[in-house]
Amino acid sequence: EENGHQNKRFKRDADADNAEDQTKKLPKRKIVLLMAYSGKGYHGMQRNVGSSQFKTIEDDLVSALVQSGCIPENHGEDMKKMSFQRCARTDKGVSAAGQIVSLKVWLIDDILEKINNHLPSHIRILGLKRVTGGFNSKNKCDARTYSYMLPTFAFAHKDHDVQEEVYRLDRETLEKVNKLLACYKGTHNFHNFTSQKGPKDPSAKRYIMEMYCGEPFVRENVEFAVIKVKGQSFMMHQIRKMIGLVIAIVKGYADESILQRSWGDEKVDVPKAPGLGLVLERVHFEKYNKRFGNDGLHEPLEWTEEMEKIAVFKEQYIYPTIINTEREEKSMVNWLNTLSIHDFSSSVVEMQANNKNSK
């Protein structure tokens, strides 16, 4: 009987070893994964190795990749080993409906199902495609599209509109919002829309392809609208500041001329809208698709078949999180109350001088 138990144990160990050997015989392939996630409770997308107190989306993803058996454990500790690259580094609390990561994996059977089995329900892998060996999702990306969902009372004029959830956006205000958002199109120096970049830093120049606010809609008695912005690439907090400044103008705190001033050399006080409503909608690979999309070996990085899954995920996880968090934590209401503190008429240098004098 004892021998029987021992034999079973040896057999079990041998099976485990065989499974590992089988995996090791599988060729490693460069792939991209299409990801959707609700970012609430996470400190952004990018993993901070060695810092476990701030949980990121990539912490959960890498753990699922190891547990599902498509990367070896040591690759989880050093992500360079699997040539891992994310397309966009979403900030704390920001969600994504179409994030792309590229990496090398063992192409095991039912790979998507196995990875998703080890992920929480608010993070899903919705698609997978093979790509060229040298593919890097960050460098090969031509443009990124973000959306920003906000309650429309954010656009209520401070002096003559109701400031509460009963507010409804009228046609004239929506047209004004869209006129201002369209000013961002083209190439501008966005040094005032991020931290740690000076006016002479060439990397502060960014190209915006489109920016507009869609038709408002009502959810749970609150009216919301979604702003879409497509640009080559964005700096930290850039979109939130772009939207924050437009809100300040529409509400009557700042003059329209501040937009032109903000692209000049002087330091302008630009308010940063809350992160809650920001969603990475999709990433674009137009140049890559032209070159490799129809070469007979690789597919174009278009996700037409996955669009329905993306829409369902947004309805299930992203929109309810934004709406419920807004109602419970009132992040937009609290932020709007801080707009009066900003000094939009003078530059930051003048403000600092005034503060010194008053002290």
Tokens of 94: 């920001």
Q: Is 17 a catalytic residue?
A: no
Residue ranges of the annotated binding site for substrate are 146
For residues 270 and 249, the answer to whether their CB atoms sit within 8 Å is no
Of the residues 59, 91, 142, 159, only one is catalytic, namely 91
Closest by alpha carbon to 30, among 123, 120, 129, 156?
A: 129
Tokens of 166: 């009963």
Q: Which residues are catalytic?
A: 91
